Every structure is written in structure tokens, then in C-alpha cells.
Amino acid sequence: MSDGPPESPTESPQRPAAPLGGALGPETVERFGRLLRHFPVAVSAEAMALAWANREDGPHGATVTVDHEVGPRGLHGAIWTAPPADSLVCAVLLRPRLAAEEGDISWLVAGLAALEGAEAASSRQLATWWPAGVIEGPERAEVAAVKAEVQLGPGRVKNVVVTMRFQLSRLGLTGEQRDELLEGVLGAVDRGVARLEEGTAAVAAAYEARCALLGQRVKVKLRPKGETRGTARGIDRAARLELASPSGMVERVGIDQMIDLTVV
């Protein structure tokens, strides 16, 4: 999907690292091979990362963590309800070389990174749930949620902020393991960006391989109104869900088209 490597993070003086629970405020430090800012309290990690991107021209890979988000909103405004003490929240600024119509693939990059990082830290078998969830087990307990905020320039993606939120207790993790989880997630983000160089189809195929929604018969409420039903059969290179009808017709639903999705 990308026709070249993303920009490299800019160099900055090395500063002492501190645990995520420490009061760093907006200070910028180097951790996990990237620039990182930690906020004890903020409107959201996404808002802080977007401000870094747009007001300060933040570098690719710049990361924000927040202990307590005032407005932790995900897909279509859904509120993250896990208590701050039981959450890890991070937002990563990406500057991929993508055409404007390819921007939604960032949701899949975020979902795979959340899944891979959580599996590495917890040693649990997880799955993605299109377009914004990471789940565990047949009961489909949500352990993480993702969001991608795509900002466009003329005919291209200007930048993307991917936000990932994890409920530690559902992963069998404690607050002391936040650093381990964060390091795994950020490494998975880097691998996802590298996969983009192989094209959008490579990312979609990797996501499909881990998506528990496939094979399920679903009902999707659509914008501005109406609904559609079918069997989820795949995810295409534009991150759209492919629904097959009994007659064999295939309908593709984009992330922005969907209001709600339920298994029927």
C-alpha cells in the first residue's frame, strides 16, 4: 500500500526514561526507539497526538500515553468504559505514504498491532473483530479497542493517529506490566507500517487471518439509514467488510458507512 518507507523519527537529545505512572506531563522523552509524551490527565490520547502532529509537525512514530482520559472515545464516539487504573492507552502518529482512498487501512494496522502486542504480553490467543475490536474466546470478550483518525492532504493521507486502549485485567495483566504491553504494541505498530510497503492487500490478508467475525452472519445498520445483512466473508484492501448474500452477491461496507454491527 505504501510506495516507500515512512519518514524516520527526528533525532532529539536523550532524556532519562521514567515509568508510565510517573508525572512526566508534556515532557518529550525517548523510549522504545521513538519520541514519547506522557500525560497524567488529558482530554484523550488522540487529541494530544493530533495536536503534536498539527501544531508541532510531530515525527512519524511519535507516541502519547495518558493515565486518565476525560473523553476516551473510539469508533463513532463509543466511550471506553474501563477504569483508568485498569487501562493502557496510547496514540501513535503515523505518516504513511498512502492515497486518500487508502486511509482506512490504518484501522487494520491498529487492530493487528493491538492484537499482536496484547498476545505477546499476555500469552493469550486473541482475535480481531472488524473494525475496532480485539476479543478473546467464544464469548467475544473485548480486551482492546482501536481507532484511526485519518487526516487528508491534497489527494493523499497527510497523517494518521492510531489510538489503542487495553483493559489490563481482561488480559491477566497488572498496572506494573504496562511498559511491557506498550513496548510490544509499539513494536507491532512498526511491523504493521513495514507491512504497508507490501501493499494494502498484504495488510488486509493479515487482518483477515486473525478476524473472528469472518464466517458470521451479521446485520449492519448503515448511514444515513437502512441496514444490510449477509455472511462476513472477507476484508478488502480498502478495509471494507465483504458481506455475501445467499444468492452469492457481495456487498462491501466501509467503516464510515457502519453505525452498528450485530451477529444474527
Backbone angles phi, psi at 215, to 5 degrees: 90, -10
Backbone angles phi, psi at 68, to 5 degrees: -130, 110
Q: How confident is the prediction along the chain (264 residues), in pLDDT tens digits per residue?
A: 334 434 433 333 333 334 444 434 478 999 999 999 999 999 999 999 999 999 999 999 999 999 999 999 999 999 999 999 999 999 999 999 999 999 999 999 999 999 999 999 999 999 999 999 999 999 999 999 999 999 999 999 999 999 999 999 999 999 999 999 999 999 999 999 999 989 999 999 999 999 999 999 999 999 999 999 999 999 999 999 999 998 889 999 999 999 999 999
CB 127 within 8 A of CB 90: no
Classify residue 3 as exposed, middle or buried by CB count within 10 Å of its CB (0-12, 13-18, 19+). exposed
Triad 176, 137, 108: Cα angle to 5°: 75
